Amino acid sequence: MSELAERFETHDPGEKLVAEKIRCDACPVMCYIAESRTGACDRYGNVGGRIVRMDPLTILDHAAETGAAIVPFAEEGETWDGELVNTGRRFVTAIGAGTTYPDYKPAPFIVSQEVEGVDLVTVVTEGIFSYCGVKVKIDTDRHIGPETATVRAQGEAIGHVTTGEYGSQMLSLGGVHHLTGGSKAEGRATCDAMLALCNRKPVELVIDGGATVIVEAGKPPVIDGKLEQRMRVGCGSATIGMFATQWRGLVDEVVVVDDHITGVVSEHQAGKVLGWQDTGIKIIGRRSTPGRYFKVSEPGLGWGGTSISDPLSILGEWNAKKGARPGMSLLMVSTTGEQFAYYELDDELKPVQKPFPERLRKSVELIEDNCEPALCTVLFVGGAGGSLRAGVTENPVNLTRSVQGLTTYVTVGGAPVYVWPGGGITLMVDVTRVPEGAFGYVPTPALVAPIEFTMRRDDYVRLGGYEGEIRSVDDILAKGGEYLNPRRGTAAPRDNPWPPLAQLRRAAANGAGR
């Protein structure tokens, strides 16, 4: 008996059936499940002596080309007559469809549909992704941790901080090494965190040498207990470039404090073009090009993603020979406009903070207005391999070639995906475009994600598809499938294109439409 099978009271294939328990064979764990109980993943259960998929099959009915409403399959004991929206634009997603296991079995549903005179086939399966991860983009200028720092959930290493992008901090989480290459606790914590993130639940992540961040797809991050509000408008240099004209004639000097590039208007090209006078200012930092300074401070939770709370700490002595004079005015502002202060030089050329003048308020508000809301974006990234591709065609590499050749359109729960160039089928999907609760797991551990492949019927046959398994949407609605649990779905509508039409249009645009 395998270790997992033992843990979940399961048995290896071929072993004798345990009294009144029946075996689920939808994944390698092979749980034996008692009446009215569910297996280790809670996705399958024993209902009346039959293994059923416990979540409802989700069928999309697209009310318009760009609007997708989720339509329930049917209440128990009913069949759905398709009249709820009645657009005829239905799409059987893989959510609740069940899994192809072992590899040679055809996918749970292979659905035919005629669209604009073309016979299309959609192959529908819930893929078990042992090789998968989550990329998190956190729109904030707060420093959350150094690059490559370990990210932990439940105290276990589940990923790392990767390269920050413009105004965003990025995390790379999961992957097969954390899922199965470490301890059991690490694998479980990784799987739990990825599952929650993909199903749009909040997850607390602790970064070694950095911040504690609560990440939830589609929501602002909470960093060290503080709900973030804004993503910066740009780096300090870009901010100077964008708003230099707003400050002209209102103030003698402007410094935009930023963790990456701090900008100084009198030295910056934007100021020079406008005829800005030298001010004799001295910035303590590494000068890059005129008016642009790197490393004015360590990164942190202070002004502009730096660690400073007093912006004057980045200024050196003012130089009278280079233009400094008593009474000179100075605006210091962060890249989000959240922090700002106004100073005037005294007789000894020391900046003294003064009440913030009304004349500058509009320009600071403009910086704030140009910021975007702080936000967490979660992308599921997975490599579709073995059982998944074999469930579509007897010759799996044909599916890969067909996806790469754009004759097959891939969706996750009806949501469009980005397929990476190169070998294999490595896809990314924004989890907020996937109906809620679409992701599951198996305790191997691995994530389960819905995946659909839509293509012309003749292409499907040509790539070695299971032609004898093709069924109409109506037949699926009327008769269900091997494991189908006909219960009501509850997911919310999403704005995704209707996959069959999207496939036809893309194929036509790429000259693949015939």
Specify the stretch interacting with ligand SF4 by CB under 6 A; choose among 37-45, 112-120, 387-395, 449-457: 37-45
Interface pattern 209-248 for ligand SF4 (x via CB under 6 A)? ----------------------------------------
311 binds ligand SF4 (CB under 6 A): no
When asked if residue 449 is in the footprint of ligand SF4 (CB under 6 A), the reply is no
Q: Which two tokens stand for residue 89?
A: 């634009």
* 30 touches ligand SF4 by CB under 6 A: yes
Judge whether 430 and 137 are in contact, CB under 8 Å: no
Q: To the nearest whole angstrom, how small is the minimum distance from the Cβ of residue 469 to ligand SF4?
A: 21
Please identify which residue in 11, 24, 132, 340 interacts with ligand SF4, judged by CB under 6 A.
Answer: 24
Minimum distance from residue 125 beta carbon to ligand SF4 (Å) = 13
- Cα separation, 143 vs 297, in Å, equals 12
29 forms part of the interface with ligand SF4 (CB under 6 A): yes
Question: Residue 397's CB: how many other CB atoms inside 10 A?
Answer: 13
What CA–CA distance (Å, rounded) separates 478 from 485? 13
Least Å distance, CB 30 to ligand SF4, is 5
Q: Which two tokens stand for residue 354?
A: 């003064």
- Beta carbons within 10 angstroms of residue 432's beta carbon: 16
In order, the DSSP letters of 202-222 are -EEEEETTS-EEEE-TTS--E
Which of 43, 142, 160, 292 lies at the binding interface for ligand SF4 (CB under 6 A)? Answer: 43
Query: How many other C-beta atoms lie within 10 A of the C-beta of residue 433?
Result: 17
Contact between 388 and ligand SF4 (CB under 6 A)?
no
> Which one, 319 or 444, has the nearer CB to ligand SF4?
444
Cβ closest to ligand SF4, residue 101 vs residue 409: 101
The radius of gyration of the chain from alpha carbons, rounded to an integer in Å, stands at 29
Q: Of the ranges 34-42, 86-94, 390-398, 453-461, which one interacts with ligand SF4 (CB under 6 A)? A: 34-42
End-to-end CA distance of the chain: 52
Structure tokens at 95: 């959510």
Q: Which residues contact 87 (CB under 8 A, 6 or more apart)?
A: 61, 62, 63
Q: Which stretch binds ligand SF4 (CB under 6 A): 35-43, 169-177, 224-232, 451-459?
A: 35-43
- Residue of this chain nearest to ligand SF4 (CB atom): 39
Residue from 16, 20, 41, 438 touching ligand SF4 (CB under 6 A): that is 41
CA 145/CA 142 separation, integer angstroms: 9
Q: CA–CA distance from 393 to each of 99, 386, 402, 453, 513 (Å)?
A: 15, 11, 11, 11, 21
Nearer to ligand SF4, 24 or 205 (CB): 24
| Closest distance to ligand SF4 from the beta carbon of 444 (Å) | 8
In the bound complex, what is the minimum distance in angstroms from residue 45's beta carbon to ligand SF4?
Answer: 8
The whole-angstrom separation of Cα 465 and Cα 462 is 7
> Based on CB atoms, which residue is closest to ligand SF4, 4 or 455?
4
DSSP labels for 254-317?
EEEE-SS-EEETTTSHHHHHTTPPP----B-SEE-STTEEE-SS-BSSSGGGBS-S-GGGGB--
| Contacting residue, 233, 324, 412, 442, with ligand SF4 by CB under 6 A | 442
Question: Backbone phi, then psi, for 378, in 5-degree steps?
Answer: -120, 120
Q: Is 40 in the site for ligand SF4 (CB under 6 A)?
A: yes
Q: Which residues contact 316 (CB under 8 A, 6 or more apart)?
A: 282, 283, 284
Q: Which is nearer to ligand SF4, 8 or 243 (CB)?
A: 8
Listed ranges 25-33, 177-185, 210-218, 476-484: which one lies at the site for ligand SF4 (CB under 6 A): 25-33
Phi, psi of 509 (to 5 degrees): -65, -30
443 binds ligand SF4 (CB under 6 A): yes
Question: Which positions touch ligand SF4 (CB under 6 A)?
Answer: 24, 26-27, 29-31, 39-41, 43-44, 442-443
